[in-house]
Amino acid sequence: MENLSLARNDRKAIDTGYLISNYATIATLVLLFIVFAIFVDKFFEVSNIINIAQQVSTLAIVAFGLTITMAAGDFDLSVGSIASLSGVVVTGLLAGGMGMFTSIILALAVGALIGLLNGIISTKVGIPSMIVTLGLSSVAIGVNFMYTEGRAVYGGLPTSFTALGRGALFGIPSPILIMLILGLVVYILLNYTKLGRYIYATGGNATAAKLSGIKTLKYRTIGLMFSGIGAGIAGVVLAARLGSGQPTAGSSFLLDGLAAVFIGMTTIRVGQPNIIGTFVGVLLIGLLNNGLNLLGLPFYIQDIAKGLIMVIAVAFAASKNELKFFSS
């Protein structure tokens, strides 16, 4: 009887530890929402909830791409620059009279090309992705300012394009719909396809994956290319919402995107980048920004809060020896 009681106690302790380990971040999100709803005026209004979802939609798109490349074991520090460049490219082409479909495809091709270059240089030359993406980020910034001369690109944008950022379908704003659709697509890709399994295997243990016959360099390159495409999509949607191409529009995506993925690694699949966790991280950042704004606190308080949250998230995963990225 005593052994049975001890076994039950151990099981309860394991169950409690599992719940805390996997769902503490989600509990934090819910708690933060309740606190702001109680203490912040107008926070719980439907219009504000929709505003939060719109504000985080482009960040979520960037973070979904980052989740793929980090699942493969790499980092992409060029997402902010890619988003900005894609935004000015699509608006510049539209302002010049090019068709909307062609302009969007070319803008996304810019993101895909930079992502592909990131992957090829990193894997074929053997330079860590963090360094490669930082270097190409600087190149993207230079091309951006050479193309725009530091000025916003606006005028001549068709309403069908701005509808991507300002329109709605069935009462749901377009950016939110795009975010949800892309999130579902990436979730299925990572969890229910061979490509997703190989990406996770590459990021989990590149040596073991290579010995199993997986072409790890290929999947790392694919991961970085997806990250570039995600940043490109976010840049296009953001330009449509702003009604112009802003040379620095995507500057906040890098820190916030990384923070979202790191926060997401503390929930659902602890220690691994995962889409549901990333979405929780995005919502946490969005709630934090919105709530602190409504409280009238200065922007640097938001930066401090996000930085602390990211450090705590990484420390939590590291303390459990469950960080499973960084390809060699």
For 24-69, how does the pLDDT look when each residue is reduced to its tens digit (9 = 90+)? 788 888 988 999 999 998 898 999 999 999 999 999 999 999 999 9
- CATH number for the domain formed by residue range(s) 32-319: 1.10.3470
Taking the C-alpha atoms of residue 27 and residue 56, their distance in angstroms, rounded to an integer, is: 19
> What is the distance, to the nearest Å, from the Cα of residue 227 to the centroid of all Cα atoms in its chain?
9
Percent of the chain, pLDDT > 70? 89
For residue 74, the one-letter residue type is: D
For 232-243, how does the pLDDT look when each residue is reduced to its tens digit (9 = 90+)? 999 999 999 999
DSSP-derived letter for residue 130 is H
Helices (H), the chain: 2-39, 46-71, 79-95, 100-120, 129-148, 159-166, 174-192, 194-204, 206-211, 216-242, 253-264, 275-294, 299-319
Residue 1 has pLDDT above 80, yes or no: no
Longest dimension (CA), the chain: 81
Residue 6 has pLDDT above 50, yes or no: no
What residue segments make up the domains of the chain, in order of their start? 32-319
For 109-129, how does the pLDDT look when each residue is reduced to its tens digit (9 = 90+)? 999 999 999 999 999 999 999
Compute φ and ψ for 245, nearest 5 degrees. -100, 115
Measured CA distances, 290 to 26, 95, 161, 176 (Å): 18, 33, 27, 17
Structure tokens at 113: 């090309």
Measured CA distances, 180 to 58, 60, 64, 274, 276 (Å): 11, 9, 11, 15, 11
Residue 203 pLDDT grade (very low, low, confident, very high; cuts 50, 70, 90): very high
